[in-house]
Amino acid sequence: MSDLEAPLRPKRKKVWVDYFVNFRWIVVIFVVLPISFTIYFLTYLGDVRSEMKSFKKRQKEHDENVNKVVKRLKQRNPSKDGLVCTARKPWIAVGMRNVDYKRARHFEVDLSAFRNILEIDEKRMVARVEPLVNMGQISRVTVPMNLSLAVVAELDDLTVGGLINGYGIEGSSHLYGLFSDTVVAYEIVLADGRVVRATKDNEYSDLFYAVPWSQGTLGLLVSAEIKLIPVKEYMRLTYKPVVGNLKDLAQGYTDSFAPGYGDLDRSENIPDFVETMIYTPTEAVCMAGTYASKEEAKKKGNVINSVGWWFKPWFFQHAQTALKKGEFVEYIPTREYYHRHTRCLYWEGKLILPFADQFWFRFLFGWLMPPKVSLLKATQGEAIRNYYHEMHVIQDMLVPLYKVGDALEWVHREMEVYPIWLCPHKMYKLPVKTMIYPEPGFELHHRQGDTHYAQMYTDVGVYYSPGPVLRGEVFDGAEAVRRMENWLIENHGFQPQYAVSELNEKSFWRMFDAGLYEQCRRKYGAVGTFMSVYYKSKKGRKTEKEVQEAEQAQLETAYAEVDEPVD
């Protein structure tokens, strides 16, 4: 058996859940889609109403809501009430991880009112927004102004708070880093009710660096100031097919955007947006986009493709046509490009509604897409939820750029999931060691895509049913995720915690660094008030006793390293 051959697996006996999942499209069409469309429409009306308010009114409402949060926190009796959680229902979260931590007794704080864009400051090039503002909402406001967040996560429903406290990436992350790297300041309500503004150079700089990936376990985020960049009306997108083995595809992806060491910020040929989709072990399409003016896009001979129309082919399938017709270029309206994966949820829509990519469905019902992820979660019972954990993979592997080929071969051998999404991002060398950090001494190797101040990483997005499941063979999803997590630890990679994790506590703190995080937990009173990030991410039910005992225990020194400044 060659290195890339998957092991032979026995056939799996079907159970009742298999049949229910196969016909789940009935519930999705007649229940989930209509309700989703109604919610999207009502949310849109609420956003428009918010945008019509004056800056003064929005700021006044914000201050009043912050005061309500402070008052609510001060009502908590630590000896009688549970740990602090937001009042948001568990199924509303976009992530695939079960929000089981809310099954333990908890003290709820309602943040549902924090969904306003407070200010677009064109002078400072900063957007000040509340945590429940989503990507669709903010791009609708900024793009007509020829402005944009530096990193706009693709799915409309992803919120600022989730992308900061968790994980957010886009095709521009090879220039700007992850979503949290573009934040200028956080406004946070601490455990004792203090409201602080944390920046990288004020007295709360340690908190500023500790918030990303903390899952809201250091305090309650109530607003953020995020970097804006100037943009143009269109994205000039080049689709380039690549054929070869997985290492060839990885190199083609790297060459599509990354010059030699240290040249990333100096080269004029670096695209504004980058992504690659791998369709089979031998075929991929690399995409590179640059902003273009309306005048350029409408020149004679140029092709304009408004991918946002409901009847248009799904974006991943449209890009796949480059494998047959060869390299081509087209112009896509900027906002439609930002949200190109929303309608089909990358390619997950094909599993949810197997025929939804057909022209007749797109034309007649495409305007109802996509189903809200939260409603999909709400309409599945525990048996179906567990089925998806075992028979489905939704994971992101953040790996150093030079290890992408190895990661692709591992995914093929262990999971056989296609398509695979590749998106690069900078991992900055910061003044302190945060939960995620570049490889020590990476700059000494002068690798392609790296600079002296940042190592280039890649998100290897693995979203779909594994090959063995599609063939009706036995597949142990939990064990596959455990092996993936071990591979990431061994290769200095990271697993975003929106996904289902099988890590135990020791392994969790082998993957992530606990030093700064635990220091801030103690300094700002989060211990005993907010659940730790490990227990919030841990799979399975959490009992109140288990959580309280964990909160009182100190991490063993073997799990954490003391922060040392980086020169």
Question: What pLDDT, on a 0 to 100 scale, did the predictor assign at position 553?
Answer: 57
On whether the CB atoms of residues 280 and 412 are closer than 8 A, the answer is no
On whether the CB atoms of residues 516 and 433 are closer than 8 A, the answer is yes
Polymer length of the chain: 567
Phi–psi pair at 196, nearest 5 degrees: -125, 155
DSSP helix, strand, coil percent of the chain (3-state; round to 5): 40, 20, 40
Question: What pLDDT, on a 0 to 100 scale, did the predictor assign at position 543?
Answer: 55
Phi–psi pair at 168, nearest 5 degrees: -145, 140
On whether the CB atoms of residues 174 and 254 are closer than 8 A, the answer is no
Other C-beta atoms closer than 10 Å to the C-beta of 318 total: 16
Question: What pLDDT, on a 0 to 100 scale, did the predictor assign at position 566?
Answer: 40
Q: In whole angstroms, give the CA distance from residue 404 to residue 460.
A: 8
Beta strands in 231-374 (DSSP E): 234-243, 273-280, 283-292, 328-333
* 202-223 pLDDT per residue, tens: 999 999 999 999 999 999 999 9
Which single residue is written with the structure tokens 């995020």?
226
Alpha carbon separation from 81 to 3, 62, 528, 547 (Å, rounded): 54, 27, 11, 13
Torsion region of 346: left, alpha or beta (phi above 0 gives left; psi -120 to 50 gives alpha): left
Q: In whole angstroms, give the CA distance from residue 398 to residue 440.
A: 16
Structure tokens at 302: 């140029």
Measure the N-to-C terminal CA separation of the chain; round to a whole number of Å.
47
Question: Could you tell me the sign of the dihedral formed by the alpha carbons of 216, 496, 308, 33, in that order?
Answer: negative
Of 469, 337, 359, 487, the C-alpha closest to 415 is 469
Mean pLDDT in runs of 10 for the chain (567 residues)?
A: 61 79 88 93 90 90 96 88 76 56 72 94 96 95 96 92 94 96 97 95 96 95 97 98 97 90 66 97 97 96 95 96 97 97 92 93 94 82 77 94 97 95 97 96 94 96 92 90 96 92 92 96 92 82 59 45 41
Enumerate the H helices of 148-303 as residue ranges: 160-165, 173-176, 205-210, 246-255, 294-297
Q: In whole angstroms, give the CA distance from residue 92 to residue 157.
A: 11
Question: What pLDDT, on a 0 to 100 scale, did the predictor assign at position 265?
Answer: 60
Question: What pLDDT, on a 0 to 100 scale, did the predictor assign at position 128?
Answer: 97
Run of H or E residues at 545: helix 544-552
Question: What pLDDT, on a 0 to 100 scale, did the predictor assign at position 9?
Answer: 74
